[in-house]
């Protein structure tokens, strides 16, 4: 079987998404889970972009043992210097440098020419080679780059020492056959192509990311750039779980990866929870409904023989339908075990805090599921907020106006306000606004239940606009009005300093 290298960019392309930013500790948690999952390369960040990104690359390099740690740069010396510095502790390191090669990029972004861009590409690779042996070069917007020119660039950067050449469909424009032909053209027309690995990096703007990636692999690419849950710029990137399971289900492709597919579901939940990015219920492989059969005919068929309607066994992706459900009678050890299965390692002090919150939640709802556990584990993020929700009281119903009184603690000082509204959330937010007194508009507001049951936790995602910038907020509570107010408070904490 041919080996396909899995390059995960959840912590770079995925983390670029507004509202998905993680702190260094959270990034290390994801990186370690990616290592356990079996990815070959972790793109840990874009070090020159911020001190936070630089530091994350340093710390991930220390924390992770065998996957290659990769740092992104533009094709400029300063970026490469900083990336090399950030990678100094990595056991296996790679610099990922590159430049736009499409007519759009050359003409409008760089006001340059094809020859000049080719020279800059070669210079960037040679410069990165001074620091590391493993240099990946990306031809940004390769999806819309003329194949003949693209082949010239790929040939030149391989000659300059690139070990991997990335062919990104940056705008998600290609159709599967077009992307496949592009890779085939390069495989057939680039001298020395076998001295490097061609990589796919497909965005999902037309919903083609996975199909394009597979088409690239069928035509010779041997590295795929992917993210957990398919998160990434705009409509996202190719999702790791889809590629891994396609290769597992279609053994005839004769291509293998290092991925331990049973770790897919826990890491999907972890990334969704840490990034506050819900997974759509019908998302392939990891969506809540991915293995749920609702029609009577399907249920009957599955009961007679699972394979009548299922091409994958849910346990192959780590969905354990028989996993022990935690209840108010579960002890610390059971909670610690569940956290560890979900990739969260906690020390005893922190475990005590989570356990206390767990008991409070278990008082309100009977069964505590994995999502609940992950929310509890992430609670300290809101506990450190400068503005905290102290109390909330609402009265609402049919035929009466909703009234809310809200108490906030701002840097320890108490503030209170009351307001009426056309529903309990509206009233509570109006009361909040009286205290905060800034111009802000609620742009998006979604409520999602975590599993089922009227005692379930509701997860609320909000986007609040202030001074032209959109801030993301998240809240989770068995009371959805409280979850909504928590999400609003979480968003305003990011701009009211």
Query: Which residues would be at the binding site for ligand KIV (CB under 6 A)?
Result: 13, 138, 140, 166, 168, 170, 201, 203
Instruction: Say whether residue 40 binds Zn ion (CB under 5 A).
Output: no
CA-CA distance, 146 to 125, in Å (whole number)? 21
**Helix (H, G, I), strand (E, B), or coil: what is residue 42?**
strand
Smaller CB distance to ligand KIV: residue 59 or 225?
225
- Would you give the distance in Å from CA 11 to the centre of its chain? 7
Smaller CB distance to ligand KIV: residue 168 or 266?
168
Q: How far is the CB of 170 from Zn ion (least distance, A)?
A: 6
Looking at beta carbons, which residue is closest to Zn ion?
A: 13
Q: How far is the CB of 362 from Zn ion (least distance, A)?
A: 42
- Asked if residues 172 and 209 have their Cβ atoms less than 8 Å apart, the reply is yes
| From 10-18, 42-50, 250-258, 375-383, span contacting Zn ion (CB under 5 A) | 10-18
Q: How far is the CB of 176 from ligand KIV (least distance, A)?
A: 17
Smaller CB distance to ligand KIV: residue 101 or 463?
101
Q: Residue 30: name the closest of 48, 42, 18 by CA.
A: 42
Query: Pick from 5, 10, 11, 13: which binds Zn ion (CB under 5 A)?
Result: 13
DSSP codes of every residue in 244-284: HHHHHH-GGG-EE----GGGHHHHHHHHHHHTT-PPPTT-T
Smaller CB distance to ligand KIV: residue 170 or 490?
170
Q: How far is the CB of 145 from Zn ion (least distance, A)?
A: 15
Q: Residue 461: name the closest of 473, 451, 450 by CA.
A: 473
Q: How far is the CB of 269 from ligand KIV (least distance, A)?
A: 25
Q: How many residues bind Zn ion (CB under 5 A)?
A: 1
Smaller CB distance to ligand KIV: residue 26 or 205?
205
- Asked if residues 408 and 387 have their Cβ atoms less than 8 Å apart, the reply is yes
Give the burial class of 281: count Cβ atoms within 10 A of its Cβ; 0-12 exposed, 13-18 middle, 19 or more buried: exposed
| From 6-14, 32-40, 303-311, 415-423, span contacting Zn ion (CB under 5 A) | 6-14
Smaller CB distance to ligand KIV: residue 26 or 79?
79
Q: How far is the CB of 170 from ligand KIV (least distance, A)?
A: 4
Instruction: Say whether residue 43 binds Zn ion (CB under 5 A).
Output: no
CA-CA distance, 454 to 474, in Å (whole number)? 20
CA-CA distance, 112 to 107, in Å (whole number)? 6
**Helix (H, G, I), strand (E, B), or coil: what is residue 439?**
coil
- Which partner from the list ligand KIV, Zn ion, none does 263 bind, CB cut-off 5 to 8 Å by kind? none
State whether the Cα torsion 197-199-213-65 is positive or negative.
positive
Q: How far is the CB of 211 from Zn ion (least distance, A)?
A: 17
Please enumerate in sequence order all residues whose Cβ is within 8 A of that of 374, keeping only pairs 6 or more positions apart, or say none: 269, 270, 273, 274, 342, 344
Q: How far is the CB of 136 from ligand KIV (least distance, A)?
A: 9
- Which partner from the list ligand KIV, Zn ion, none does 343 bind, CB cut-off 5 to 8 Å by kind? none
Smaller CB distance to ligand KIV: residue 67 or 475?
67
Tokens of 312: 């994958």
State whether the Cα torsion 312-317-322-328 is positive or negative.
negative
- Which partner from the list Zn ion, ligand KIV, none does 461 bind, CB cut-off 5 to 8 Å by kind? none
Smaller CB distance to Zn ion: residue 13 or 59?
13
**Helix (H, G, I), strand (E, B), or coil: what is residue 41?**
strand
CA-CA distance, 261 to 258, in Å (whole number)? 9
**Helix (H, G, I), strand (E, B), or coil: what is residue 404?**
strand
Q: How far is the CB of 419 from ligand KIV (least distance, A)?
A: 45
Smaller CB distance to ligand KIV: residue 237 or 493?
237
Residues that bind Zn ion (CB under 5 A): 13
């Amino acid at each position: 079987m041919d080996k396909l290298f899995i390059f995960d960019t959840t912590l770079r392309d995925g983390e670029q998404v507004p509202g998905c930013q993680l702190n260094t500790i959270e990034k290390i948690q994801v990186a370690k889970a990616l290592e356990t999952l079996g990815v070959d390369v972790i793109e840990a960040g874009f070090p020159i972009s911020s001190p936070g990104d630089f530091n994350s690359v340093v710390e991930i390099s220390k924390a992770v043992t065998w996957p290659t740690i990769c740092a992104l740069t533009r094709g400029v010396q300063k970026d490469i210097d900083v990336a090399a510095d950030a990678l100094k502790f990595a056991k296996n390191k790679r610099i990922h440098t590159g430049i736009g090669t499409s007519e759009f990029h050359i003409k409008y972004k760089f006001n340059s020419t094809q020859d000049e861009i080719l020279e800059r590409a070669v210079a960037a690779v040679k410069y990165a080679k001074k620091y590391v042996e493993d240099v990946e070069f990306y031809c940004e917007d390769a999806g819309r780059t003329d194949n003949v020119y693209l082949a010239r660039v790929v040939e030149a950067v391989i000659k300059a020492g690139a070990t991997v050449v990335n062919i990104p469909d940056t705008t998600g424009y290609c159709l599967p056959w077009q992307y496949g032909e592009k890779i085939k053209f390069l495989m057939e027309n680039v001298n020395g192509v076998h001295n490097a690995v061609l990589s796919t990096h497909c965005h999902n703007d037309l919903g083609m990311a996975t199909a394009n990636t597979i088409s690239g692999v069928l035509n010779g690419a041997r590295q795929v750039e992917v993210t957990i849950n398919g998160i990434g710029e705009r409509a996202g990137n190719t999702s790791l779980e889809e590629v891994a399971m396609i290769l597992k289900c279609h053994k005839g492709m004769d291509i293998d990866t290092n991925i331990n597919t049973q770790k897919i579901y826990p890491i999907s939940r972890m990334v969704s929870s840490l990034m506050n990015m819900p997974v759509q219920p019908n998302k392939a492989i990891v969506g809540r409904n991915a293995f749920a059969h609702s029609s009577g005919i399907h249920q009957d068929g599955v009961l007679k023989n699972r394979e009548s309607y299922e091409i994958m066994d849910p346990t192959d992706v780590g969905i354990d339908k028989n996993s022990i459900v935690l209840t108010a009678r579960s002890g610390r050890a059971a909670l610690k075990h569940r956290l560890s299965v979900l990739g969260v390692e906690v020390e005893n002090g922190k475990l005590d805090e989570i356990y206390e919150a767990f008991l409070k939640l278990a008082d309100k709802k009977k069964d505590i599921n994995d999502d609940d556990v992950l929310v509890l584990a992430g609670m300290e993020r809101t506990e450190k907020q400068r503005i905290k929700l102290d109390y909330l009281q609402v009265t609402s119903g049919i035929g009466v106006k909703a009234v809310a009184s809200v108490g906030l603690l701002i840097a320890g000082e108490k503030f209170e306000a009351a307001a009426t509204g056309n529903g309990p959330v509206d009233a509570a937010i109006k009361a909040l606004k009286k205290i905060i007194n800034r111009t802000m508009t609620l742009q998006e507001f979604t409520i999602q239940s975590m599993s089922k049951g009227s005692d379930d936790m509701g997860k609320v995602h909000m986007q609040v606009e202030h001074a032209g910038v959109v801030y993301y907020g998240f809240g989770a509570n068995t009371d959805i009005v409280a979850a909504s107010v928590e999400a609003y408070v979480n968003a305003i904490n990011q701009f009211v300093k």
